[in-house]
A and B are shown apart, each in its own frame.
Chain A
Amino acid sequence: MEVILKFIDKNGLIFAFFVIGIIIYVSEIISKKLTKNTVPSPAIAIIFGLAIAYFGGDITGGQKGIADVKLFAGIGQMGGSMFRDFAIVSTALGASLYVIMRAGWPAILSLFIGISFSFFFGVIIARLYGYTDAISLATLGAGACTYIVGPVTGAALGASSDLIALSIATGVVKAVFVAISTPFIAKYIGLNNPNTAMIFGGIIGTNAGVMAGLAATDPKLVPYGALTATFYTGLGCLVCPSLFYLILNSIL
């Protein structure tokens, strides 16, 4: 047993790939069999991740979720900021400035409206809820954008780990809601053509939610929504901890 523990300790990152692979596989099965694809497997996997983070925090009393359990320390490496940011940058590959330019200014405008509405309405709700400092408000507002903009903003501003976790939870709530509700609300918002799909992707922005929601509505619309949604997280990571935080700071 000790040999195995030592072995895994030495190969932590590789073991993490294996563990996360299993989590994704199980999530995919749950997504297909139990929810008939209404809840996207990334959303289930992320909830799964948050659940084991809770478990890890519960048994160790630490702040790094499951990574505080020695056996799973490699997951901390895998989910650390270096790999995270590297992988997120690579998602930009799916976007082309030329194509989005041709789609006209409503698609571009939708990105700015989506990010600023999410951020500032998120801030207003957090303020009503009782948060008062600019860093907490900005982190939660950014969490209302996506579950990536939240932690990136929180990390940039030096928010505490529990606030960052809260902003991830916020983003996950949004992603799950978008994925489930999109097929039902599509006809009310005229989501049946590429242009509206681009606006939808831009204004909602949460990748997993947008892609799963559009796939459930009409698979032909997926690339259009994904195209604008790809910009959302990058743009959100750009403006939330800088411009929006400064605006927020000057208001408070």
Chain B
Amino acid sequence: MVIYGVGLLSFCYLVGQILGELLGKYIGVEANVGGVGFAMLMLILINDWFEKKGFLSEKMISGISFWNQMYIPIIVAMAATQNVKVALSSGLIAVLVGLIPVIICLAAIPFLSKFSPKNNN
């Protein structure tokens, strides 16, 4: 049943968000901290566990993967509701912060891949 997948996703979302709320309160930040991350980790773990147990059906998965595919459209909607006008008045910073760290990261890739296990492809 599709709703089982949506329900499982909702369960992970709710528990993760509550953990995020509690962590936020604990460290003294006035909001949800890491709720999305907790929910994702939970979904991975439960998904793994259910897979081993054979609880997962194709229909159930499709209840989750529908939302997975809605993620880009929702991000587009989110982008469309931001205060872009004000952000653009300091436009260069977005380009600098967007480019320089990623170039440093790209340069680090060859060093890291030296340590990865030998390829078997």
Contacts and interface: CB of A to CB of B under 8 A. Distances in A.
Contact of A140 (B12, B27, B64, B97): B97
Interface in B73-116: 73-88, 90-102, 104-110, 112-113, 115-116
A113 B108 contact: yes
Contacts of B76: 20, 23-24, 42, 45-46, 48-49, 79
Interface residues of A, number: 118
B27 to A, nearest CB: 6
A118 B80 contact: no
Contact of A234 (B37, B65, B82, B102): B37
Given A16-B77, A156-B24, A97 B43 contact: no
Contacts of B84: 50-51, 53-54, 57, 65, 165, 169
B71 A20 contact: no
Interface stretch (A2-10, A29-37, A192-200): A192-200
Chain B interface, >50% SS class: helix
B63 to A, nearest CB: 9
A174 B100 CA distance: 9
Chain A interface, >50% SS class: helix
B53 to A, nearest CB: 15
7 contacts: A23-B76, A54-B84, A79-B78, A93-B68, A95-B44, A106-B115, A177-B99
Interface of B: 9-10, 12-13, 16-17, 23-24, 27, 29-41, 43-45, 47-48, 61, 64-65, 67-68, 70-88, 90-102, 104-110, 112-113, 115-117, 119, 121
Nearest 10 interchain pairs by C-beta: A173-B98, A238-B37, A79-B77, A49-B79, A162-B86, A79-B78, A57-B85, A234-B40, A92-B40, A165-B87
Given A45-B73, A79-B75, A198-B116, 15 more contacts: A78-B73, A79-B80, A85-B13, A97-B48, A156-B24, A156-B31, A158-B31, A164-B82, A169-B84, A177-B98, A190-B110, A203-B105, A234-B40, A235-B37, A241-B34
